[in-house]
């Protein structure tokens, strides 16, 4: 039981964040809070990639003369970070589209509350 | 050598068009439609050429920036990908031809932005089909989804809320997929699909791979609206404008189904997916649930577009069932249904759009004999597509159901066979009820209050809106009659070990 917890604090933190994000997206009735939940959810996944790519006693992946290329252990794997740059951009675009939709919804129905909204749609 | 560059050309011309339409649209708004239609035309011709080339000369691999995989991103244009790309570009061409008038009426003065987003959507779909890289697939899923939300939101008054719901659910799906490939990457150290499928047998006992498989299946199942995850679909399809729903309904969920097919059968492999684990069995069960649920809900609908949306859930179930059967006949059935359903749904949604533009709404209750007299060709196309959905033999829809049924028999899965047969009957119920009204019910004497702005006088819809519908209906007959040729080609696309 304890070996699941000790040394895996970052993953546990990410699990908590993902749960909060999913809770916000699914349970919260306010549409803006749903978008906030979505942001937390996406950030949690980005953190997951970054924390998994952490490597101690190693340097940025730029070739220098002092370190030979055969010593892979001395370099950090740059790929997860590069992937997450893309994922951050995708996340920003998603939040942008979500807020654009919310502006439209608010202009038409003057509310962000889901129950109220469904009531006014009838 | 143009042939070597086909995999890159297909997504990139759409991306280029998405950039040039707003730039040139500042100068002249009318330029948006010609650019869009020419782009799709070029893409369709390139994919026809590419399909023939791939069948004769084998798979084309394109390495971006000259970096060979697994370091670089690879685009794989194999027979399966080229075939699906051909189908979706062809349907996009027909839908955009229809859009010449439909978009004018639905979207009015925001056409420049609309066509730009349509190009992004198609770029996303083409990319999803052709890419050979897991993360690249995620990026294209998000490109197509984000443009899909925008295209749905331009519809009628309730459309933004439907799109917002789709956005929330779709983001959960895409994020699950991203999480899944994260697990896969940290276990295997590669994102290339080919590379991964050769590494996976050595690490497949790890529970991490299991978790990643589950996350990926759930993520893509949300995108393709497999039964319990279908909640976003009916509203978004109903409230979207005609051109959007006829683009997203036939193509969007199909591309999701293709991604699932590719990942499950080609990357994870048939043994891991169906024998070591029961994921295939679960997928088939949920699909069967979707088939029954979608068909019953479709019977309960009073409005054609909403009925078609529920019918889409059922039809996606067939594809999921075919993948879940995990045998050669199931594979043929799933792939055939992917194509047939794309044709059928495009045809039906365009007909629903035609009716909406002509009569102001598409309620089933208002349909009667006069529809047949006023729109003989539209209704003939509708009838062919409806009969094909039910599965009447010479039409395309029959053959996909036939192969799926044979697949269930091969697995001795009698329950699934029963589901297929029952759902065919349910299909007949909800389509014949419309056909019965259109061909049998004589119009009521007093004309009910009709929207005055809609022109009831002109007989048939405009040629630009009629031709695509008829082309799709003819396509269904052709697909049905030349079915054997198609199945012969599909045998070449089958994954190893099936």
Q: Which of A90, A110, A122 is most worth mutating to test chain B (most B CB atoms within 10 A of its CB)? A: A90
Mean pLDDT value across residues B37-50: 92
- pLDDT reported for residue B14: 93
Q: How confident is the model at residue B437 (pLDDT cuts 50, 70, 90)?
A: confident
- B160·A22 Cβ contact <8 A: no
| Residues A52, A60: Cα–Cα separation, whole Å | 16
Res B487 pLDDT > 90:
no
Of A86, A97, A121, the CB nearest to B149: A97
Distance from CA of A35 to the nearest CA of B (A): 8
Enumerate residues 448 to 487 of chain B having a beta carbon within 8 A of any beta carbon in chain A: none
- pLDDT reported for residue A122: 78
**Residue A111 structural domain:** 2-121
| Residues B379, B373: Cα–Cα separation, whole Å | 9
- pLDDT reported for residue B38: 93
Highest averaged pLDDT of the listed ranges B34-43, B63-72, B234-243, B429-438: B34-43
Q: Residue A6 belongs to a domain with what CATH number?
A: 1.10.287.3510
B285 vs B269, more confident: B285
Is the Cα torsion angle B141, B95, B423, B367 positive or negative in sign? positive
| Residues A98, B171: Cα–Cα separation, whole Å | 10
Of B150, B178, B186, the CB nearest to A45: B178
Chain A CB contacts of B158 under 8 Å are 121
Chain A CB contacts of B142 under 8 Å are 90, 93-94
Contact between residue B310 and residue B344 where contact means Cβ atoms under 8 Å apart: no
- How many domains does chain A fold into? 1
- pLDDT reported for residue B451: 47
| Residues A33, A24: Cα–Cα separation, whole Å | 6
Could you give the ipTM of this predicted complex? 0.93
Residue B175, chain A, CB below 8 Å: the answer is yes
- pLDDT reported for residue B497: 67
Element (H, E) at A79: helix A79-109
Residue whose pair of structure tokens reads 């060709």 in the numeric block:
B377
Chain B CB contacts of A80 under 8 Å are 185
> Please, what is the Cα angle at B233 between B227 and B238, to 5 degrees?
140
| Residues B340, B385: Cα–Cα separation, whole Å | 10
Tell me how many helices (H) and strands (E) chain B has.
Answer: 21, 2
Mean pLDDT value across residues B477-496: 84
Instruction: Calculate the alpha carbon distances from B73 to B137, B139, B450 in Å.
Output: 11, 12, 56
- One DSSP character per residue, B315-369 reads HHHHHHHHHHH-SHHHHHHHHHHHHHHHHHHHHHHHHHHHHHHHHS--BSTT--H
Is the Cα torsion angle B309, B311, B312, B313 positive or negative in sign? positive
Residue B168, chain A, CB below 8 Å: the answer is yes
- For chain A, what is the radius of gyration of the CA atoms? 21
Q: List the structure tokens of B141.
A: 């899923």
- pLDDT reported for residue B1: 65
Res B327 pLDDT > 80:
yes
**DSSP code, position A59:** B
Instruction: Count contacts between A and B (CB, < 8 Å).
Output: 67
Chain A CA closest to residue B155: A104
Residue A90, chain B, CB below 8 Å: the answer is yes
What value does the mean pLDDT of chain B take? 86
Chain A CB contacts of B185 under 8 Å are 79-80
B376-390 and B414-439 helices cross at what angle (nearest 10)? Answer: 160
Distance from CA of B160 to the nearest CA of A (A): 6
Of B149, B158, B182, the CB nearest to A48: B182
Residue A105, chain B, CB below 8 Å: the answer is yes
- pLDDT reported for residue B493: 80
- pLDDT reported for residue B27: 87
| Residues A21, A43: Cα–Cα separation, whole Å | 9
Closest by alpha carbon to B146, among A101, A42, A36, A45?
A101
Residue whose pair of structure tokens reads 């439609």 in the numeric block:
B33
Distance from CA of A66 to the nearest CA of B (A): 24
| Residues A98, A34: Cα–Cα separation, whole Å | 10
Chain A CB contacts of B157 under 8 Å are 108
Enumerate residues 10 to 69 of chain A having a beta carbon within 8 A of any beta carbon in chain B: 22, 25, 31, 34, 38, 41-42, 45, 48-49, 52
Residue A115, chain B, CB below 8 Å: the answer is no
Provide the CA B452 distance to its chain's centre, in angstroms. Answer: 36
- A42·B175 Cβ contact <8 A: yes
| Residues B486, B283: Cα–Cα separation, whole Å | 26
Chain A CB contacts of B149 under 8 Å are 97, 101
| Residues B456, B360: Cα–Cα separation, whole Å | 10
- pLDDT reported for residue B68: 82
- A41·B135 Cβ contact <8 A: no
A9-26 and A31-52 helices cross at what angle (nearest 10)? Answer: 160
Instruction: Calculate the alpha carbon distances from B39 to A51, B89, B120, B141 in Å.
Output: 43, 10, 12, 21
Q: Cis (ω within 30 of 0) for the bond into B70?
A: yes
Q: List the structure tokens of B307.
A: 């009925």
Res B171 pLDDT > 50:
yes
Reported as half-sphere exposure (CB side, CA atoms, 13 A), residue B449 has a value of: 0
Instruction: Calculate the alpha carbon distances from B480 to B166, B424, B435, B485 in Å.
Output: 34, 17, 21, 10
Res B453 pLDDT > 50:
no
Q: What is the pLDDT of residues A13-62, one digit of tens each?
A: 999 999 999 999 989 899 999 999 999 999 999 999 999 888 888 878 77
| Residues A60, A63: Cα–Cα separation, whole Å | 9
Chain A CB contacts of B138 under 8 Å are 87, 90
Mean pLDDT value across residues B269-285: 80
B2 vs A84, more confident: A84
- pLDDT reported for residue B452: 44
Global pTM? 0.91
- B146·A25 Cβ contact <8 A: no
Q: What is the pLDDT of residues A72-117, one digit of tens each?
A: 777 888 889 989 999 999 999 999 999 999 999 998 888 888 888 8
Burial B224-256 (b: 16+ CB within 10 A, else e): bbbbebbebbbbbbbbbbbbbbbbbbbbbbbbb
Mean pLDDT value across residues B242-263: 89
Q: How confident is the model at residue B459 (pLDDT cuts 50, 70, 90)?
A: low
- One DSSP character per residue, B167-217 reads HHHHHHHHHHHHHHHHHHHHHHS--BHHHHHHHHHHHTTSHHHHHHHHHHH
Q: What is the pLDDT of residues B147-158, one digit of tens each?
A: 999 999 988 888
| Residues B339, B335: Cα–Cα separation, whole Å | 7
Res B342 pLDDT > 80:
yes
- B167·A45 Cβ contact <8 A: no
Instruction: Calculate the alpha carbon distances from B214 to A38, B1, B286, B299 in Å.
Output: 21, 41, 14, 33
Q: What is the pLDDT of residues B89-143, one digit of tens each?
A: 999 999 998 888 888 777 777 888 899 999 999 999 999 999 989 999 999 999 9
Q: Which of B18, B143, B168, B238 is most worth mutating to test chain A (most A CB atoms within 10 A of its CB)? A: B168
Res B338 pLDDT > 70:
yes
Q: With H, G, I as helix, E, B as strand and everything else as coil, classify residue B393.
A: coil
| Residues B357, B351: Cα–Cα separation, whole Å | 10
- One DSSP character per residue, B272-299 reads IIIIISSHHHHHHHHHHHHHHHHHHHHH
Q: With H, G, I as helix, E, B as strand and everything else as coil, classify residue A110.
A: coil
- pLDDT reported for residue B444: 62
Res B239 pLDDT > 80:
yes
* β-bridge partners, B114: none
Distance from CA of B430 to the nearest CA of A (A): 25
Contact between residue B343 and residue B250 where contact means Cβ atoms under 8 Å apart: yes
Highest averaged pLDDT of the listed ranges B184-198, B350-364, B454-468: B184-198
Res B361 pLDDT > 70:
yes
């Amino acid at each position: 039981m304890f070996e699941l917890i000790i040394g895996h604090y970052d993953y546990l933190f990410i699990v908590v964040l993902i749960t909060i994000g999913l809770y916000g997206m699914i349970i919260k009735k306010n549409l803006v809070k749903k978008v906030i939940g979505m942001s937390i959810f996406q950030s949690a996944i980005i953190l997951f990639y970054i924390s998994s790519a952490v490597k101690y006693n190693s340097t940025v992946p730029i070739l220098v003369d002092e370190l030979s290329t055969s010593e892979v252990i001395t370099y950090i794997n740059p790929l997860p970070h590069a992937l997450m740059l893309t994922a951050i951009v995708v996340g920003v675009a998603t939040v942008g589209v979500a807020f654009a939709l919310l502006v439209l919804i608010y202009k038409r129905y003057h509310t962000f509350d889901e129950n109220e909204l469904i009531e006014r749609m009838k | 050598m143009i042939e070597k560059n086909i995999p890159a050309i297909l997504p990139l011309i759409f991306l280029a068009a998405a950039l040039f339409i707003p730039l040139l649209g500042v100068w002249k708004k009318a330029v948006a439609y010609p650019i869009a239609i020419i782009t799709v035309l070029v893409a369709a011709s390139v994919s026809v050429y590419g399909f023939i080339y791939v069948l004769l000369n084998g798979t084309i691999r394109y390495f971006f920036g000259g970096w060979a995989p697994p370091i670089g991103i690879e685009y794989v244009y194999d027979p399966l990908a080229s075939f699906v790309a051909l189908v979706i570009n062809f349907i996009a061409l027909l839908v955009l031809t229809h859009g010449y008038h439909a978009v004018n009426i639905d979207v009015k003065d925001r056409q420049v932005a609309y066509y730009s987003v349509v190009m992004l959507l198609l770029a996303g779909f083409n990319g999803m089909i052709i890419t050979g890289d897991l993360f690249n697939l995620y990026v294209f899923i998000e490109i197509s989804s984000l443009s899909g939300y925008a295209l749905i939101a331009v519809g009628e008054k309730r459309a933004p809320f439907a799109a917002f719901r789709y956005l929330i659910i779709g983001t959960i799906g895409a994020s699950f997929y991203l999480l899944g490939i994260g697990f896969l990457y940290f276990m295997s150290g590669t994102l290339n699909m080919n590379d991964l499928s050769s590494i996976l047998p050595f690490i497949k006992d790890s529970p991490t791979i299991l978790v990643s498989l589950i996350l990926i299946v759930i993520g893509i199942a949300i995108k393709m609206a497999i039964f319990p995850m279908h909640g976003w679909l009916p509203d978004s399809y109903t409230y979207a404008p005609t051109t959007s729903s006829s683009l997203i309904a036939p193509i969007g969920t199909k591309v999701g189904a293709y991604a699932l097919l590719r990942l499950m059968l080609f990357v994870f492999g048939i043994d891991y997916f169906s024998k070591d684990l029961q994921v295939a069995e679960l997928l088939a069960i949920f699909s069967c649930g979707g088939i029954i649920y979608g068909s019953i809900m479709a019977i309960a609908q009073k409005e054609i577009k909403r009925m078609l949306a529920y019918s889409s859930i059922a039809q996606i179930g067939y594809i999921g069932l075919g993948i879940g059967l995990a045998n050669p006949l199931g594979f043929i059935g799933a792939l055939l249904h992917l194509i047939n359903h794309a044709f059928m749904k495009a045809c039906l949604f365009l007909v629903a759009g035609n009716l909406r533009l002509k009569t102001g709404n598409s309620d089933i209750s208002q349909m009667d004999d006069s529809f047949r007299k006023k729109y003989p060709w539209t209704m003939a196309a509708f009838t062919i597509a409806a009969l094909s959905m039910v599965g009447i033999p010479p039409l395309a829809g029959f053959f996909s159901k036939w192969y799926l049924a044979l697949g269930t028999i091969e697995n001795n899965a009698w329950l699934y066979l029963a589901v297929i047969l029952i759902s065919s009957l349910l299909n007949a119920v909800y389509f014949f009820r419309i056909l019965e009204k259109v061909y049998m019910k004589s119009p009521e004497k007093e004309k009910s209050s009709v929207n005055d702005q809609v022109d009831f006088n002109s007989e048939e819809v405009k040629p630009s809106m009629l031709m695509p519908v008829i082309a799709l209906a003819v396509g269904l007959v052709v697909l049905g009659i030349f079915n054997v040729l198609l199945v012969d080609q599909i045998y070449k696309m089958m994954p190893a070990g099936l």
